[in-house]
Structure 1
């Protein structure tokens, strides 16, 4: 199948290399273009202890917020540098490529961008979460497969497993 607009969801894990390489191969085969997407997740409770310290006067809330903002800015900068490196690699293969990097819920952002850009396919990795861990933490690949407006290619983090192509669920179907 020819995919011309390929949205690639990357999470900066070792499996991201497999996802990127797979998407690059799809784009080369169909003379398509890539949009690389990375989302820094919103973590409202990650620094709860620091906020409690601020609430009881052990640290100022402005200092806690400043530290949070600085850490997030550093993470965004590192992610953008990484995405720029991947973009340059794709450009060396003559694949038009851009990227999006935001602080947002990953699954929702990927589906929103796929819709707005008119993606033909979304390529996403699968972390291999199972059971209770998957139930509690969720799965971005499951969310995308169930909510994206186009087919989703799920690239497993284990090279011994096969890539899955999942079709979008039709609105109103059970």
Structure 2
């Protein structure tokens, strides 16, 4: 079955669902787990890059840059803390786990890291964007489904804007 499961996490509420599904699967298959967080300025909660634009704050660019660096460092530290906590949870559940945090474009970084690490399954969330929203925002899960070097398990969001027929749906694509 699966022996090396890569779990792509972010700070969204959906990460809890993704993590739990991956841990349940790892326990059932006795797989090792790698928890991956991709640092990206596009992630929810990341420091606002618009504050770096000098036209908004002329003459304050060095102070603004320092504030941005400080906020970004805190963002990185929060990511590491999240991963450490999840790694501890996995270990307590009897799953061998490690973690990695990398700066990059989430979709490509997930696929590249899966290849380097030798993952045979990638588990990630799918928020259910469709239409124009997906066209303009892109879709990490869609990119990973089409470019992954391994099987992919996407966990559908349980958000209230998702139709009942799609709630708790998971798709496995090889």
Structure 2 match to 1:118: 118
| 1:101 Cα offset (Å) | 1.3
| Residues in 2 aligned to 1:13 and 1:160: alpha-carbon distance in whole angstroms | 17
Q: Aligned-residue CA RMSD in angstroms?
A: 1.7
| Residues in 2 aligned to 1:124 and 1:57: alpha-carbon distance in whole angstroms | 41
| 1:100 Cα offset (Å) | 1.1
Structure 1 match to 2:59: 58
| 1:58 Cα offset (Å) | 3.3
Structure 1 match to 2:85: 85
- Which runs of structure 1 show a deviation greater than 3 angstroms over 4 or more consecutive aligned residues? none
| 1:47 Cα offset (Å) | 2.7
| Number of matched pairs | 162
Contact 2:51 2:64 in 1 (8 A): no
Contact 1:90 1:97 in 2 (8 A): yes
Are 2:95 and 1:95 equivalent residues in the alignment? yes
Structure 2 match to 1:170: none
TM-score of the pair, normalised by structure 2: 0.86
Contact 2:121 2:152 in 1 (8 A): yes
Deviation digits for residues 149-171 of structure 1 (CA, Å, limit 9, x no counterpart): 0111000012724210112xxxx
Q: Is there any run of 5+ residues in structure 1 with no aligned partner, and where? A: 168-174
TM-score of the pair, normalised by structure 1: 0.86
Over 3 Å counting, the alpha-carbon distance change for 1:49 and 1:75 in structure 2 is closer
